[in-house]
Amino acid sequence: MKTASKIALFAGLATGYVLGARAGRERYDQIARQAGKVWNSKPVQRQAERVQQLVDRYVPSVVEQAFGLLGKGASALTRAATGASRREAQRKAEAEAAERDTVPEGTVSNPA
């Protein structure tokens, strides 16, 4: 459906709602009956069936692909986070080891 058609449909529905609300319950019922007739008409139902077929055909694969991408992204984030924390822990351990191995200035180490 083209954008102009969508806008026209929305405008028609909104207008029907406003007119129905202003005209009272009888007018609302009349509009609801007309809307039901339009909805149940053959052209509208054919289009609804086409849309349903497209949804049935494509949505499962799109959802599967989306979850696959989300899973890959989550795995990459997890690897990045754990890799960063491991590197950080390794740097900290190396710094502590270097600190222990360093002899303070003015001290003579005992070679014996």
DSSP 29-55: HHHHHHHHHHHTSHHHHHHHHHHHHHH
Say which residue the tokens 């052209």 belong to.
43
Residues 6+ apart with CB under 8 A from 35: 16
CA 58 to CA 64: how far, in whole Å? 10
As a whole number, the mean pLDDT across the chain is 80
List Cα–Cα distances, 1 to 4, 18, 42, 57, in angstroms.
8, 24, 17, 18
SS3 track for 56-75: HHHHHHHHHHHHHHHHHHHH
The answer to which of 31-35, 70-74, 84-88, 92-96 has the lowest mean pLDDT is 84-88
Structure tokens at 60: 């499962």
Q: Is the pLDDT of residue 71 over 80?
A: yes
